[in-house]
Structure 1
Amino acid sequence: MDAPLVGDAQIADTFLANTLPGRLAELQRQLAAIQPDIVRVGVFLADADPSRLTYWADSEHRVLPCPNGVANLADNPVLSRCVTLDSAQTAFIRIDPALEWAADGHTCPLLAAPLRRDQRLHGLLIIESDPAVPLPASQICQLLAWAPMAASLVAQSIESVRTLIGTTRFALDFTLTRDRETGEHQLRLRDYILALAAELSSAHGLKDAFIAELALFGPLHDIGKVGIPDAILLKPGRFEAHEWELMKEHVTLGHSMVARLIHDFRLHNAPGMRTLHDVVAWHHERLDGSGYPYGIRGDAIPLSARIVSTVDVFDALTCQRPYKRPWSLSEAFAHLRTLAGPKLDRDCVDAFCHARSRIEAIWQRHAAGTAPATG
């Protein structure tokens, strides 16, 4: 059975959750320097509706969706009290199903602190200790005093990632407003990317974090088209040769935009920036070096760009243009096969064709105008 279409909010939550373990591991190391019996630090992320918990991420690099039995905040008295009082709370007694589930029998929940910025609840910070070592009251008081500062730092990190996600949504919406076909192309690509990446995940060991990054940033591959004049971008007919050369400049324009964004806002280490850079810069490159604008070839083209290239070609073939009819799905799949190897990544094409039933369902959904919104 084909996997259900993943919603935009779930993609964002998955991406956000996977940015946290590295930060939490550093926080755990800092805490352990003060109190060695602090063995794990974790975060429950809250939904836009703060009554629901969506993901657990921790310093042991676990990222897990919260199961239904623990996701309702009201069913967790300690966590609910923490949010209601907006203050750190002790959690000695495991009376919260969420805390029990996250501890997994290996740790003892010690403290919970709300993660709040500008009145928005992002989730809860959980500090866990060694269950075999009871902490003295003086050390617990010290941690209670320290917890709000730690929670503020984690909340700031979460907010910065949410801002980054919001920026990508704005960019997609802006493109949709200026050129509806380019905008709708981006929405289709998001769903095709998810289907292809899911099919590739077992063979290539793709992690959920990479798939979420690709689903968020892959649709921005054509962001450079905002710099193409309307007379070219919106031309209803086939391009003249000089017009085609101008249109191809959207890659270098987009590459420059992303490079400037990363430099000006010091985003070199920000999550997803490498993926954004790669798909914008390399999505028109081909394995045999015949692509543009740089003519790179083979494995020098990152996997993220090879995935986007595959779905980009398929979407171009199957969509109506003023100068061509849309190819049938069968024609498009057959043509992808001919491109596998010399032009497109063979593994990507094979996986895309293997996921044909899901791809066709996505195509039908968008053709019927029922694709989910980006917001």
Structure 2
Amino acid sequence: MEHQDHLQSLNDAQTVQQKLRHLHDAVKQQHPAITRIAVALYDDKTDALKTFIYSADQHTPLEHYQTTLAQTPQLATLAQQGKTRVINDLRELSDSDKPHTQALLEAGYLASYTVPMVFNGHFFGFVFFNAAEVGVFEETLLVELDSVSHLVTLLVFHERANVRTLLATLKSALDLSHGRDPETGSHLERMSRYARLIARKLARQWDFDDQYIEHIYLFAPLHDLGKITVPDRVLLKPGKLTDEEFEEMKLHAINGRQLLDKLIDNYGLSGIGHIDMLKNIANHHHEALDGSGYPDGLKGNDIPVEARIVAVADVFDALTSERPYKKAWSNQQAIDKLRELAGIKLDPDCVNALLDNMEEVEQIQRTFAENPVG
């Protein structure tokens, strides 16, 4: 007996976005009323709930959208209790003041099924199923969608876990080889969120989707993985580097790219989505718009955009953080310096995207402030 595996296409998909589309296609073969499946991710350190990936018969009404779990009490209850929610007529919520609810209604979605994503007891987001008809979500269908939601949960968690494995490997190696990591955990938390902020603010201008924005955030902390190859006498030097020492430090960009290739091969992580973005960040985050950067002396738009974004995030946090060789600058001093560098060393759009949203920047600083021991 022959049987067609409707999920065989998952083996050929390169990203979780593509895998979600294949899953949605399989669902629609039996249940064409399910016109949208979407995933939102939760950041437990900031309480942010943010759109990530989706598959829909039309353009999603929710893109580059972010709120907090505290501002969505019903979803907060689902997350806390691990329960699902069925709304078989969204029109009952037509008087809701929630932008996401109004956006779904305006797009013609009339019913929804919400499933928390939980892995090993850890809540990290939601899977949303939407239909353009009322009364669709009955028990028989819900049982099938539960299986789909758990598969989506595993796919998303697996990719994020792979990235965290790379980051944990880097941190452990730095601790072992240098005695201490010169970059604090708070620095990585801040600069990765600055990078995500920049990407989100430029999303419409540069046509970024939510998956791209999320991977900027995930990959930003790996920008300096090549520093594992830099000698202690250079990496941990409290004073200004000599010209010779600076040449040694500059090698960390190329070494980072090479080390990344080895880590991906050794850990079997070639399936991580947007892997070229990660390599570009590691290799090119010290390039400068005027061509004076390293390792390749790229100019202007020849510098990958993800590297330009991470460069601004990294420079701003380096300026406003204390280092062995300097005191922390004030935000205003750092703002003035970034405006001075914009268009010469740093991408001016990226600089403006960060500095025009200082309220969010300051919230990140408050959330991830350094403790007395760094």
Question: Normalised by the size of structure 1, how large is the TM-score?
Answer: 0.66
Would you say the 8 A contact 2:38–2:128 is kept in 1?
Answer: yes
1:186-335 alignment runs, 5 A limit: 186-194=188-196, 196-197=198-199, 200-201=202-203, 203-204=205-206, 206-265=208-267, 267-268=269-270, 270-318=272-320, 332-335=334-337
Instruction: Determine if the alignment matches structure 1 residue 156 to structure 2 residue 157.
Output: no
Find the residue that maps to 1:40 and give its secondary structure.
Answer: strand
Shift of 1:256: 1.2
Deviations 1:316-337 (A, max 9, x none): 4555555566666555444434
Query: CA 1:33–1:251 in 2, change beyond 3 Å: closer, same or farther?
Result: same
Letter in 2 for 1:279: I
Give the equivalent residue in structure 2 for 1:70.
Answer: 74
| Comparing 146-155 and 246-255, the one that deviates more | 146-155
Q: Which runs of 5+ in 2 are unaligned?
A: 1-14
Shift of 1:299: 0.8
Match of 2:27 among 31, 35, 60: 31
Query: CA 1:357–1:22 in 2, change beyond 3 Å: closer, same or farther?
Result: same
Give the equivalent residue in structure 1 for 2:346.
Answer: 344
Deviations 1:134-156 (A, max 9, x none): 79x9xx85x56754653443232
Give the equivalent residue in structure 1 for 2:12.
Answer: none
Shift of 1:222: 0.9
Larger radius of gyration: 1
1:14-25 alignment runs, 5 A limit: 22-25=18-21
Percent identity reads 30
Give the aligned length: 338
Give the equivalent residue in structure 2 for 1:179.
Answer: 180
For 2:79 and 2:18, locate their aligned partners in 1 and report how far apart those are by CA, in whole Å. 29
1:54-203 alignment runs, 5 A limit: 58-60=54-56, 61=60, 62=62, 68-73=72-77, 80=83, 104=105, 106-107=108-109, 109=111, 131=133, 141=140, 146-147=144-145, 149-164=147-162, 166-167=164-165, 170=168, 174=172, 177=175, 178-183=179-184, 184-194=186-196, 196-197=198-199, 200-201=202-203, 203=205
Would you say the 8 A contact 1:320–1:326 is kept in 2?
Answer: yes
Would you say the 8 A contact 1:168–1:216 is kept in 2?
Answer: no
For 1:124 and 1:352, locate their aligned partners in 2 and report how far apart those are by CA, in whole Å. 28
Query: CA 1:42–1:217 in 2, change beyond 3 Å: closer, same or farther?
Result: closer
For 1:154 and 1:259, locate their aligned partners in 2 and report how far apart those are by CA, in whole Å. 27
Query: CA 1:295–1:158 in 2, change beyond 3 Å: closer, same or farther?
Result: same
Q: Which runs of 5+ in 1 are unaligned?
A: 1-18, 84-89
Query: CA 1:235–1:166 in 2, change beyond 3 Å: closer, same or farther?
Result: same
For 2:368 and 2:33, locate their aligned partners in 1 and report how far apart those are by CA, in whole Å. 57
For 1:264 and 1:113, locate their aligned partners in 2 and report how far apart those are by CA, in whole Å. 35
Deviations 1:347-372 (A, max 9, x none): 2334445456765x47975996369x
Would you say the 8 A contact 1:185–1:315 is kept in 2?
Answer: yes
Query: CA 1:345–1:26 in 2, change beyond 3 Å: closer, same or farther?
Result: same
Would you say the 8 A contact 2:224–2:253 is kept in 1?
Answer: yes
Compute the RMSD of aligned alpha carbons: 4.9
For 2:79 and 2:222, locate their aligned partners in 1 and report how far apart those are by CA, in whole Å. 40
Question: Normalised by the size of structure 2, how large is the TM-score?
Answer: 0.66
Find the residue that maps to 2:36 and give its secondary structure.
Answer: strand
